[in-house]
Each structure stands twice: as C-alpha cells, then as structure tokens.
C-alpha cells in the first residue's frame, strides 16, 4: 500500500518513537476532549481516546494511514484514579511521593485506521513499573534535572526516570513512552509497509 502516514499527535515523544521506523509521515494534532467517561476503566479510556484521535484525523484524510495512541496510568491499589501530568513542580513532588514504593500500571491504546481501505486495527498494550522508595531529596533532585512536568506520573523514562524504578515489566517498553512501536510495526506490515 502506498499511502500517506499520519501520526494523530503533536507529542514530541511519540514523534521521536515513530522516527525510529525511518518512515515519511505527517504529524497532526487531533484536538479531542480527553475527559474520562463515568466508570470508564484505564483500558477502556486508552482505547477510546486512541480510536477517537485516529478517527478525527482519518475523517479529514480518508486515504491516509492514521496512527492514534493514548496512555492512561493508575496506581495498583487505586485503579479508578488515573495519574495525569503534574504541570507544576509542587504537583510533581506530590505525585512522586505518592508513587514511591508502589506499582504503577500503564494502559497504552493504539489505533491504526484508513477509511478508504476500511482498515481499523486497535489494541491496548499494558506495562508496569515498580517505583523505588524515594526520599524527598531524590524526588526534588530528579525533578530539577529532568523537568518531567508534562509527563504522566511525573517521570521521563527516556531519560533519568529509569533511575526511579525497581523494575519494569511488559512486552514492549515503548508502550511506557506512549506509542507501542512493536505492535504498530505488526499493523504496518499488514499494510505492506516494509520494516526495516
């Protein structure tokens, strides 16, 4: 299939991940409402938002292969409480203090769509991390160095965030960064896109 590929995101991290595949693509922000629905689980929310992001752009570009992805995080003992982006140093400190010593679950949704080819692939890829017991000094030093204020959970696993963990568990560590590249490659190969 020879078609334009569009990433339905303006996320620098998702673009960096997709860049690894050395494909030509466009990046367009879908600008959707990401408010959770009542009683929606993390898996349901991640999948719904991924599909809605891809649909929004696919409707505008029906010949294109559109990639939508979304990630929802929650603490193991509070599955109904989703972990968002801190947006401030104070919130980041509070988040990391709450996550210290705990297991955090991530549900990363992926949707690949092409309207004119009637293509609708979708899945949710799970991932888990166990945080170390973190001192306030470690937390403050980490935030100062990595500035993870726009990262869900107040950490950047592509950088120093890895130092906060006891372990990581999952089939695809890129899911932790917000775009499950292994599963994406599987879908793109089904569309006859050569990788590598």
| DSSP label of 31 | -
Which one of 31, 33, 63, 70 is the catalytic residue?
A: 70
172 is catalytic: no
Could you give the CA distance from residue 58 to residue 113 in angstroms, rounded to a whole number?
Answer: 7
Helix (H, G, I), strand (E, B) or coil at 42: helix
> What amino acid positions are annotated as catalytic residues?
70
């Amino acid at each position: 299939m020879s078609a334009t590929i569009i990433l339905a995101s303006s996320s620098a991290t998702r673009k960096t991940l997709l860049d690894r595949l050395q494909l030509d693509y466009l990046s367009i922000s879908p600008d959707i409402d990401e408010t959770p629905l009542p009683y929606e689980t993390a898996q349901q929310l991640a999948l719904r938002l991924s599909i809605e992001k891809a649909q929004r752009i696919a409707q505008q570009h029906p010949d294109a292969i559109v990639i939508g992805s979304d990630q929802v995080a929650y603490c193991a003992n509070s599955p109904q409480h989703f972990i968002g982006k801190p947006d401030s140093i104070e919130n980041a400190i509070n988040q990391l203090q709450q996550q210290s010593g705990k297991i955090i679950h991530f549900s990363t949704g992926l949707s690949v769509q092409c309207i004119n080819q009637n293509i609708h692939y979708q899945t949710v890829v799970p991932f888990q991390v166990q945080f170390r017991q973190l001192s306030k000094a470690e937390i403050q030093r980490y935030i100062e160095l990595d500035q993870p204020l726009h990262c869900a959970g107040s950490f950047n696993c592509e950088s120093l965030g890895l130092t906060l963990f006891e372990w990581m568990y999952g089939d695809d560590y890129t899911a932790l960064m917000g775009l499950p590249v292994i599963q994406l490659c599987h879908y793109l190969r089904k569309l006859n896109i050569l990788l590598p």
